[in-house]
Chain A
C-alpha cells in the first residue's frame, strides 16, 4: 500500500507539469490546427530563464527565498512568453494560408533552432541549481517504507491547480477567452465581428508559453538541473498527453497530463524505470489506433 501511495504522489506531481505544457499544444492546435513542435523547447527556455533570473537575483542580493521565487516566476513568464510570441510572429504567421505541412515542418525546424540556440549561448553542460525548497512530510511511519510528500511537490500541485482556475476563468468568462474560442470555431466570422484574429493567435502563443514557463520554473526547482535538451522529451510527453486527452480540448490536456504522469510513475515503480518512456508512448499508439479523438476530444464531424 505504501509504495502505491508514493507512486501516486510522484505521478500527480509529474503529471501536473505535463498538463501545463500540454495546454500549449492543445490551444495552438485548436486555433490554427497545427502541432507546435517547438513548444517543448519553449518550456526548456522557460526553465533556463528561471535559472538565469535566479542567478542574477542572487548577484543583485535578493536572497529572501519567497521574494526571489516570486520574482523568478514572474520574470521567467514574461521572458518566455516573449519567446512564444516571437516564434509565432516570425516563423508561423508568414506561413498562414500556405499548405498544412509548411508550418508543421517549420515548427520542427524551430525546435531544432531553439535547442541549438540555447546550446550555443549556455553551453551543452547541465546547469545545476542549488536546492531551494527542501523537506517533506512523512505520511506514514513505523513500517520500513516511509511515504514522503515533498514541499516542492505540494508547491507544484497547488500552483498547477491555481493556474488552472485562473486559466479556466480566462477562457470561459473574459472577452479575450471568448475571442480565442471564436477564432477556434470560425476565424472568418470572428474577424467579421471585429476580432483581430492575428492578435488573438499571438496571445494564444503567449498564454501557452506562460504556462510552459511556469512548468519549466517548477521543474528546475524540483530536479535542480536543466540542460538544452530537456524540452524534447518533455515536449513529446506533453504532446502525448494532449492527444490522450483529446487534442483541442483544454480539460483533456490536463487530464491527459495527469494520466501520463501516473502511468510513468507506476510503470517506473512496479516494472522498470528504463522502460517508462515506452509505457507512455505505447499509450500514444493505442490512443491513435482505438480512439483517435482522445478521451475528451470531439469528433471532427459536426452537425452545422
Chain B
C-alpha cells in the first residue's frame, strides 16, 4: 500500500515545553486513519506540525515521498493537504460563500462551480446559508463549513481536528457520515483526530492512541475498539 504520510520520530516544542516526544506514524493512501487521545495529549499539535506551524524541532515528515519538514505552511498546503482545524476557525466576517471561495484560493476559478456544487450536495444547509456571515452560523454549521472549505482545494490528504467537538449528537452523526462518503466517493485519504473514540474508531481503518505526546497503541479500528485498555480509558468514561 502506498504511504501518503509518514511521520518519523517528530518532536515539537512550544517554547521550552515539549508537546510531542518522538511521534512516528503512517497514513496509507485511501484510508481513514484516526488518532485518539485525551485533552492535551498533543493531537492537535501533531496536525499543526504536519502543516508546519509550529515546525517540528526534530524528526521527518514525508508527504507522498517528499519531505515537507521545514517548509512554510502555505507551501505545504499547496501540495494537496488541507485541514479543518481545531476550533473550526471560520472567517467570521466573511459570508459562507466567501469562506468556500477562500478555500479554493490555490486552485483558481476554473473548477470552482463544480467543487462548490459537491460541497453543497454534501452539506445542503451551507447552500441555504450561502449569503450569511460565517460568524452567525451554529457550531454544527460552522464545522460543516470548515470541512467544506478544506475540500474546496481538492486535497489528497484531509486532516480533520475534532469535528465532533461541542456539536449535537445528531449533527455529529451526519458529519461522520459525510466523512465516510468523502473517503469512499472521492478516494480521499483522511487523517482524523478525535476525542470521540467510539465514532472515530468505528469509522477508521486504522487507529493510533496518543498519551502525553507519544503514540501508545496502534491497530485497526476494530481491534482498538475491542482493546480493554482503550475501552477503559476512552470508551467507558472512566478507569
Contact = CB atoms under 8 A, between A and B. Distances in A.
Interface of A: 175, 178-179, 181-182, 185-186, 188-197, 302-304
A123 to B, nearest CB: 44
Nearest to A179: B105
Interface residues on B, range: 20 to 34
A193 B85 contact: no
B151 to A, nearest CB: 12
Interface stretch (B92-100, B188-196, B201-209): B92-100
Nearest to A184: B93
Nearest 3 pairs between A and B by C-beta? A194-B106, A194-B77, A189-B89
B89 A194 contact: no
Contact of A191 (B77, B92, B101): B77
Contacts, number: 66
B105 A194 contact: yes
A194 B153 contact: yes
A182 B73 contact: no
How would you classify the secondary structure of chain A's contact residues: helix, strand, loop or mixed? Answer: helix
Contacts of A185: 91-94
8 contacts: A186-B91, A188-B89, A189-B89, A193-B105, A194-B153, A196-B74, A302-B135, A303-B135
Contacts of A182: 91, 94, 102
A302 B92 contact: yes
Nearest to B93: A185
Contacts of B153: 193-194
A195 B91 contact: no
Contact of A178 (B51, B53, B83, B98): B98
Nearest to A200: B74
B92 A304 contact: yes
B135 to A, nearest CB: 7
A99 B98 CA distance: 32
Contacts of B53: 188, 191-192
Interface in B29-85: 51, 53, 72-74, 77-78, 82-83, 85
Contacts of B92: 185, 302, 304
